[in-house]
């Protein structure tokens, strides 16, 4: 994966950027649409709004952004020495060589970070209701993956029983439901309460603190919620979904919990309630978003649409990894 990522980062050399960026600016200003590779496609999605060192996972990645925007609009090179975000790690976290084999229906599209039962910062939790990977050092999930079709939706009210996750190893400091109190951040769900309303037990599973992250209130109640509701409308209309969502980046801490800089989600939309991964083709609809975790956000989730490829660049994960590589290549570039 690391080599795949490096290849993606290298796909646009510095030379090509120098040629393409002025061209892209020129064509935008003249209102002319020129088909061709998007010079930003090899960079993380934060370049579309406002990158911060806390949105990037490694120094080389920050450097790739700086090298593409030599006037440093994001202030990635505060000391002006030509090197971006020098405090970041020199390499993205490498994925484990072995992928834990799972029969969970929620992991049918793969295990993005190769999470397993023995990795403290990539700790896999599988429940009947969802699968997620948890980081001890961040004291939160890093991603979750879950299936949604009509059978998951019912009449159950929000249980609101936020509580520590007893499935985490004893050595992990438990995150209490009061952990974000006074921080200004919402207790944001990754697997939405509204996606698990078949029974009180299902809904209650979304209130475990392992499924919760510190989320900017206007994001949680704005575009993030809009996307959750849009996705559920598709399910009510007879479609079904595979959803993978996660967090990355670092903009400080609330107690022991890392506040992510960015929040992403990939939704694969299938045409019937019972369709499974075997029905996925090059034509399958894929929605990918990557949003800044801050209050200053656009109300519409569409503003934050990006490609799966760019989320892979930003996170270092391999998404949709269970699909044939040709289908992955098409769906991830959309
Ligand atoms: Mn929410
Ligand atoms: Mn992939």
> Residue 111 C-alpha to ligand 2 middle, in angstroms?
10
pLDDT in tens, 307-321: 999 999 999 999 999
On the question of pLDDT at 13 being above 90, the answer is no
Ligand nearest the Cα of residue 323 is: 2
First vs last C-alpha separation in the chain? 20
Q: Does residue 2 surpass a pLDDT of 90?
A: no
List pLDDT tens digits, range 143-172: 999 999 999 999 999 999 999 999 999 999
**Distance from the alpha carbon of residue 191 to the mean position of ligand 1, in angstroms:** 9
Contact between 247 and 260 (Cβ < 8 Å): yes
Say what angle helices 308-315 and 2-10 make with each other, to 10 degrees. 120
Mean pLDDT for the chain?
90
Q: Is the pLDDT of residue 38 over 90?
A: no
Higher-pLDDT residue of 23, 102 = 102
Cα(45) to centroid of ligand 2, in Å? 16
The reported pLDDT for the residue numbered 35 is 57
Asked if residue 144 lies in contact with residue 130, where contact means CB atoms within 8 angstroms, the answer is: yes
Q: Quick one: tokens of 309?
A: 């490829």
CA 268/CA 248 separation, integer angstroms: 21
Q: For residue 290, what is the enclosing H or E element?
A: strand 285-292
Q: How many CB atoms lie within 10 A of CB 28?
A: 11
Gap between the Cα atoms of 287 and 266, Å rounded: 6
CA distance 65 to 52: 10
Determine whether 106 is an active site residue: no
Q: What pLDDT shows up at residue 96?
A: 82
Tell which phi-psi region holds residue 139, choosing left (phi > 0), alpha (psi between -120 and 50) or beta: left
Q: What is the pLDDT of residue 36?
A: 62
Tokens at residue 269, please?
């939309």
Reported as a single tens digit per residue, the pLDDT across 263-284 is 999 999 999 999 999 999 999 9
Q: What is the mean pLDDT of residues 224-232?
A: 98
Q: How far is the CA of 232 from the centre of ligand 1 (A)?
A: 13
Burial 46-55 (b: 16+ CB within 10 A, else e): bbbbebbbbb
- Mean pLDDT check: name the lowest of 58-72, 83-97, 102-116, 147-161: 83-97
**Ligand with smallest separation from the Cα of 193:** 1
Nearest ligand to residue 111 Cα: 2
């Amino acid at each position: 994966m690391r080599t795949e990522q490096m290849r993606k980062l290298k796909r646009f050399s510095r030379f090509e950027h120098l040629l393409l960026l002025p061209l892209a600016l020129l064509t935008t200003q003249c209102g002319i649409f020129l088909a061709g590779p998007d010079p930003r496609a090899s960079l993380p999605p934060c370049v579309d709004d406002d990158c911060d060192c806390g949105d990037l996972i490694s120094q080389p990645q920050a450097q790739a952004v700086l090298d593409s925007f030599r006037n440093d609009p994001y202030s990635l090179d505060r000391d002006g020495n030509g090197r971006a975000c020098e405090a970041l790690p020199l390499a993205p976290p490498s994925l484990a060589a072995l992928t834990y084999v799972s029969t969970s229906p929620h992991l049918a599209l793969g295990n993005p970070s190769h999470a397993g039962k023995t990795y403290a910062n990539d700790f896999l939790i599988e429940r009947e209701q969802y699968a997620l990977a948890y980081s001890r050092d961040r004291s939160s999930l890093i991603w979750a993956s879950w299936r949604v079709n009509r059978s998951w939706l019912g009449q159950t009210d929000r249980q609101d029983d936020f509580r520590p996750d007893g499935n985490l190893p004893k050595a992990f400091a438990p995150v209490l439901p009061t952990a974000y109190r006074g921080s200004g951040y919402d207790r944001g769900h990754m697997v939405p309460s509204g996606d698990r309303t078949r029974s009180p037990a299902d809904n209650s599973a979304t209130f475990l603190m392992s499924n919760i992250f510190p989320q900017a209130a206007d994001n949680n109640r704005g575009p993030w919620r809009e996307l959750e509701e849009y996705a559920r409308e598709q399910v009510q209309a007879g479609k079904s979904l595979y959803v993978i969502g996660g967090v990355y980046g670092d903009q400080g801490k609330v107690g022991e919990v890392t506040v992510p800089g960015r929040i992403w989600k990939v939704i694969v939309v299938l045409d019937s309630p019972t369709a499974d991964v075997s029905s996925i083709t090059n034509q399958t609809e894929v929605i990918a978003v990557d949003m800044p975790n801050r209050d200053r956000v656009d109300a519409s989730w569409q503003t934050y649409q990006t490609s799966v490829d760019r989320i892979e660049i930003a996170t270092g994960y391999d998404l949709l990894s269970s699909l044939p590589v040709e289908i992955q290549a098409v769906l991830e570039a959309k």
